[in-house]
Structure formats: structure tokens, C-alpha cells
Chains A and B, each alone.
Chain A
Amino acid sequence: MFAALIIGSPKGPNSTSNALGTYLLERLKEKGVSTNKIYIQQVLTSEQGMNTLFRSVGEADIIILASPLYADSHHSGVIAAMELIHRDLKNKPGIKKQMMVAISNSGFPESSHNDPSLAISRRFALECGFEWAGGLALGGGESIGGRPLEEAGGLVRNVKKSLELAAGALARGEKLPEEAIRLMAIPLVPKWLYLLIGNIGWLWRAKKQGCRERLNRRPYRD
């Protein structure tokens, strides 16, 4: 069995998408699944890169798309890759029916912000002839901040448990269990705390860049 992890974040290896996808991939490896990882922002820039992506998708038994939420949907690079994969598959009738899962993470604390993105992933899977095996939605992804889950402590215990359950099911050729979906959707920290830390964090980052006083400027109307 072969699983291809496709990372949709433009931050590539430093992204929370990578942290989530890699943890799942490692659990699949432990169950004897061969794996491969592709960063969309790297392969999109060349024909050779896209051919690598097409080949991985074609050979995979399990396709895992791990991507962040950008304006309620996938990043434009992910959509471009989806369009190209869909077009490529049109010319290759009769390939095997891969399973596809998606992991979407949002900077908002509520996991429900990921709903349109997962719905788009599902449509993509169906239109490509893949078997949709389910989606995992994470809110408050900034709390992980791209760290490997092994280094994120108790904060991500439900996330890790979710991905472990997902790996078990996928290795058996099954869809994502409801419990994995439920665990991933549990907020990492209370909403009030996330907002407090988030708002302070933005002020701190702006101060570091020397633009604390200009944070609210309106360059296109003032």
C-alpha cells in the first residue's frame, strides 16, 4: 500500500499542514504503508515537478491533502494543482480508485470554518474518480505554529489521537472514523484564551517589525 501526502501550504516544511500530515504519514509507515511527501508550492513551478505530482497521485492507494484555510477555501496553489490533476486524469481513463482524505486547518478557533474547504476537496475527489474517505477539520492551527506534533505537548493530544485513529482506518482500507473527525474538531485551547493570546501576539509581531503604531493604517483610502 502506498500513501501520498500533498502539502498545500505555501510555508511548506514550516507549516502546520506539514506537521499534521507528517504525523499521519509516520503512523501509516508504522503500519507498513509506503509513503511519499510532496509540497505543492515546490512542484507547481515546473513541468517536471507537476509530473512528479501526477505520478504520485497515479500510484497512490491513499491520497492525503493537508492544507491551510485561505479566505474560506484552499490556497490558490492548491486549487491550481487540483485543476491540473483533474485535467491529467481525464487523459488517463481506467486508473485505480484511490482513497482520498483531506486535513484542513484554520487560524480561527472554530473548526467549522474549514467546511467549504473540505467540501471542495470532496468534490475534487469525486470529480477525479477517487473514493472520498473523509475530512478532518482543525481550528486554532496557529497554536501549533508549524511545530512537529511530537514537540507540541499536551495541547495536541486530541489531534494526535485523531490522526492515529485515521491511520489505523486508512491502513485497513477504511474511511475515517467519526471519532477521528470529532477529536480533531475539539478546540485546542478555550476560545477566550486563543483570542487573548492571538490579539497580543499580533501586537508583539508588529512591534518587532517596528510598525506597532501603523497597524490600523488604511493605505488605499486615507
Chain B
Amino acid sequence: MEMKTLILNGERKDESVLSSVHEIIVDTLSLNGWHAETIILREKKIARCTGCFGCWTKTPGACVIDDFGREVARKAAQSDLIIYLTPITFGGYSSELKKAVDRFACPMLLPFFTKIDGEVHHKARYKPLPCLIGIGVLPCHEEETERIFTKLVEKNAINLHSPASQSAVYYSSQNPEQIRGGVRSLLGNVREWVCLPL
């Protein structure tokens, strides 16, 4: 069984902080026979979510806005693993990545509520939903920012009913070999989640 991975690249205009990490991720996945597709989000026409909830009550499971945001939602729903790749912005995702996340998060879910560990969340529309990995890039180590990012990915994974999730932070100043080792170890965890060789 081939594992389908969707990489959402949230690099902003005139920025090139993600290219080396992205290359390492793609290399690691392809060397091991995983199918990976990357969407460079800034190159796509994706409108911002309007908060209308039409994806729940008008056109259930699909956004009412007919642009590439729908395509992101389709690809996300059909993936085994989603990788968020983003420059860390005040501890969170870049505006480019968040634009896409805002557009596909609701259609992946049902409006109805359920409880997970006593906390209220929306029910999943698809079962299973993809595993989630969040990879953030910072210029250098910043403890509080990294803690916020880790927590955000963890919360996203709970809300998206991801069977498993991980996050990692790399630094622009880091040696590519160190990053390669980190990515390999990170994706090694996914091998355990889905029992596939890496």
C-alpha cells in the first residue's frame, strides 16, 4: 500500500526559508517510496474563509467558494498524512498556510459536537482522517515560540481527529545534515503509525 502524503508549503511571497527543509522532506519520502504531493500555497488562488458555515449547511463537505481551496480540501481528505510546512509566525502558522487550513478544516468535520477526553470538538466527516505533522522553521531557537507551535499542532490534530501527530522545529541556521537526520527520525515515527517501511 502506498502512503499518500500532502505537503502544504506555507512559505510567503519573497521568502525562501523553507526550500531546504522542503527538499529534505521530499527526498526522504521519495527515497522510501511514499507518494508525496506539495502545494506551494502562495501560488494558488485560495480565498479566505468567510465563516459562513456553508460547508456544513449548504453544500455539506465542500466549501461554497469554488477555487483552489476546494482542491486542497479534496486532496487533504484523500491523504494518509498531511505535513504542514511553515515559517513560524508568532508561534503559529504563516498566513499562507492558515488560509488553506481555514478552508479545509471545517469541510473535514461535521457540525455536530462530540467529546474527546471531556473536551468538546466537532465530529469527523471522514474516518480515518489523515495523520498530521507540523514542521516549523525559525531563524534560531526561541523556546516560547516553539512551545506555542507544538501546542497548536497538537490541538489541530485533536480537532481534526488525526490518528497520530508530531511536530518539529528547525532553524534556518542549522546544518542541512542535522535537518536531514531530524526529518528522517520524525518520519520514522510515521512508519510506526502506519506500519510501512521507511
Contact = CB atoms under 8 A, between A and B. Distances in A.
Partners in one complex: yes
Interface of A: 9-11, 15, 41, 68, 70-77, 79-80, 82-83, 86, 108-110, 112-113, 115-116, 119-121, 123-124, 127, 191, 195, 198-199, 202, 205-206, 208-209, 211, 214-221
A83 B12 contact: yes
Given A70-B51, A219-B62, 8 more contacts: A68-B51, A73-B92, A83-B94, A115-B151, A116-B91, A120-B152, A202-B112, A215-B110
A108 B98 contact: no
B48 A205 contact: no
Given A83-B94, A123-B144, A215-B60, A71 B120 contact: no
B24 interface: no
19 contacts: A11-B51, A73-B98, A76-B99, A76-B101, A77-B95, A82-B90, A110-B120, A120-B152, A123-B91, A123-B145, A198-B113, A199-B112, A202-B57, A202-B111, A211-B57, A211-B59, A215-B110, A218-B77, A221-B77
Given A205-B53, A220-B78, A83 B95 contact: yes
A74 B92 contact: yes
A124 to B, nearest CB: 4
Given A79-B89, A218-B61, A72 B111 contact: no
B50 interface: yes
Given A70-B51, A215-B111, A79 B98 contact: yes
B3 interface: no
Contacts of B58: 209, 211
A112 B62 CA distance: 28
Interface of chain A, main secondary structure:
helix
For the complex of A and B, 10 pairs with smallest distance between CB atoms: A80-B95, A220-B77, A202-B111, A76-B98, A123-B90, A76-B99, A79-B95, A71-B105, A72-B155, A124-B90
Interface string B117-138: 0011100011000000000000
B49 A76 contact: yes
Contacts of A221: 77-78, 126
Contact of A71 (B102, B111, B112): B102
Interface of B: 12, 48-51, 53, 56-62, 73-74, 77-78, 89-95, 98-99, 101-102, 105, 110-113, 119-121, 125-126, 144-145, 148, 151-152, 155-156, 159
Contacts of A108: 119-121
B152 A73 contact: yes
Nearest to B112: A199
Contacts of A208: 57
A70 B60 contact: no
A76 B102 CA distance: 7
B48 A76 contact: yes
